[in-house]
């Protein structure tokens, strides 16, 4: 089992206080962010860490493999005061050998400080090739080195305001719109008749989709419930952790939400009945959006 970031931080702090001498508390935490949609724009990220020119860590994380989620922290091994620390990242689309975006960042560890080194993988850099010794950030080639005096001390609360593919400064208040669709978002009018189909493990379901603004792309918690008013019957809700797909502008979407409409009922009892669908979507920051839509199950 991989330890949690909180546990790793606690371990590093403990080690800093008594495992390796007076310089052991020179710590660097990389804060990795992106405005690319994981699972859609990017599927894998390779990372390489060097301390004083020596590779100390190299790994490849995969969204489909379940070990890639951003924003995230990369906790570097304790270093001595003045150690040169460099991290490099390459983001790949699924099935492609060449990276979509690369980024390098460097600083120096400082005894007695735990530095936060921010690194962003920016969509604006996807078409930019920088000369040797430079890296791309926010669409421009820049010097990778950031002086430690220009860095903040690490505070885990930075994640709450980190750049996000779906929650941008211009996205406004959280909002969710209920639609329909198995493989794409399609509008769903109030009172619209919707087809149902048999599921692979029994039961019958409708395909729902959502259009979302103002909520984080990854880690949002979805709750779907329903109520047949004529039958005075409430469907048992289900919850899931979801990843949103960025659409046009500040809009993000999720589709292919299978909602069973005959759980605890015979399917013939729900045909032709009005169903009140209720949606709640809450992101890791605690921001919440809700929506409701009445549909009619096809006869």
203 and 260 Cβ atoms separated by less than 8 Å: yes
287 and 214 Cβ atoms separated by less than 8 Å: yes
171 vs 280, more confident: 280
Kindly tell me if the per-residue pLDDT of 112 is higher than 60. Answer: yes
What is the C-alpha separation between 97 and 88, in angstroms, rounded? 17
Instruction: Give pLDDT tens digits for 174-191.
Output: 999 999 999 999 999 999
Q: Which pLDDT does position 79 carry in this prediction? A: 87
Q: Which pLDDT does position 200 carry in this prediction? A: 82
Q: Which of 212, 210, 205 is nearest to 187 (CA)?
A: 210
Q: Which pLDDT does position 24 carry in this prediction? A: 54
Kindly tell me if the per-residue pLDDT of 7 is higher than 50. Answer: no
Q: Which residues contact 161 (CB under 8 A, 6 or more apart)?
A: none
Domain 175-297: give its CATH architecture.
Sandwich (2.60)
Span 83-95, mean pLDDT? 95
CA distances from 157 to 116, 148, 161, 218 (A): 11, 20, 8, 17
Determine whether 101 is exposed, middle or buried from the number of CB atoms within 10 Å of its CB (0-12, 13-18, 19+).
buried
Give the DSSP letter string of 217-268.
SEEEEEEEEEEETTTTEEEEEEEEEEE-EE-STT-EEEEEEEEES-TTS-HH
In this prediction the pTM is 0.73
Q: Which residues contact 188 (CB under 8 A, 6 or more apart)?
A: 178, 179, 180, 194, 208, 209, 293, 295
Q: Which pLDDT does position 118 carry in this prediction? A: 95
| Residue whose entry in the numeric block shows the structure tokens 């013939």 | 268
What is the C-alpha separation between 210 and 218, in angstroms, rounded? 15
Chain mean pLDDT for the chain: 89
Instruction: Give pLDDT tens digits for 144-163.
Output: 999 999 999 999 989 888 88
Kindly tell me if the per-residue pLDDT of 43 is higher than 90. Answer: yes
Q: Which pLDDT does position 119 carry in this prediction? A: 96
Give the DSSP letter string of 4-39.
PHHHHHHHHHHHHHHSSSTTTTBEEEEEEEESS-BT
Kindly tell me if the per-residue pLDDT of 1 is higher than 60. Answer: no
Sorted by where each begins, the domain ranges of the chain are 5-16+23-161, 175-297
What is the C-alpha separation between 259 and 168, in angstroms, rounded? 29
Kindly tell me if the per-residue pLDDT of 50 is higher than 70. Answer: yes
What is the C-alpha separation between 54 and 64, in angstroms, rounded? 30
Kindly tell me if the per-residue pLDDT of 12 is higher than 80. Answer: no
Q: Which pLDDT does position 22 carry in this prediction? A: 46
Kindly tell me if the per-residue pLDDT of 18 is higher than 50. Answer: no
Q: Which residues contact 240 (CB under 8 A, 6 or more apart)?
A: 221, 222
Span 230-244, mean pLDDT? 93
Which H or E run contains 270?
A: helix 267-270
What is the C-alpha separation between 44 and 47, in angstroms, rounded? 10
């Amino acid at each position: 089992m991989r330890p949690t970031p909180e546990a790793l931080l606690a371990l590093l702090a403990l080690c800093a206080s008594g495992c390796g001498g007076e310089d052991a508390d020179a710590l660097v935490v990389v804060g990795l962010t992106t405005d690319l949609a994981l699972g859609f724009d990017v599927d894998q990220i390779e990372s390489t860490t060097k301390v004083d020119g020596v590779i100390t860590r190299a790994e490849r994380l995969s969204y489909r493999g379940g070990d890639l989620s951003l924003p995230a922290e990369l906790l570097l091994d304790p270093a001595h005061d003045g150690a040169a620390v460099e991290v490099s990242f390459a983001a790949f689309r699924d099935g492609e050998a060449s990276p979509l975006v690369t980024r390098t960042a460097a600083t120096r560890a400082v005894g007695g400080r735990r530095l936060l080194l921010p690194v962003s993988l920016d969509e604006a850099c996807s078409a930019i090739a920088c000369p040797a010794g430079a890296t791309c950030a926010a669409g421009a080639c820049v010097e990778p080195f950031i002086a430690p005096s220009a860095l903040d001390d690490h505070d885990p609360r930075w994640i709450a305001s980190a750049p996000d593919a779906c929650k941008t400064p211009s996205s406004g208040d959280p909002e969710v719109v209920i639609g329909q669709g198995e493989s794409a978002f399609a509008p769903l009018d109030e009172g619209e008749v919707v087809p149902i189909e048999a599921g692979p493990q029994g039961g019958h379901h409708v395909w729902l989709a959502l259009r979302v603004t103002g909520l984080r792309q990854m880690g949002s918690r979805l709750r779907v419930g329903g109520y047949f008013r004529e039958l005075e019957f409430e469907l048992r809700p289900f919850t899931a952790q979801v990843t949103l797909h960025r659409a046009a502008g500040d809009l993000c979407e999720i589709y292919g939400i299978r909602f069973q409409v005959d759980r605890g009922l015979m399917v013939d009892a729900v045909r032709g009945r009005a169903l009140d669908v209720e949606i709640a979507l809450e992101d890791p920051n605690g921001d919440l959006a809700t929506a409701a839509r009445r549909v009619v199950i096809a006869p």
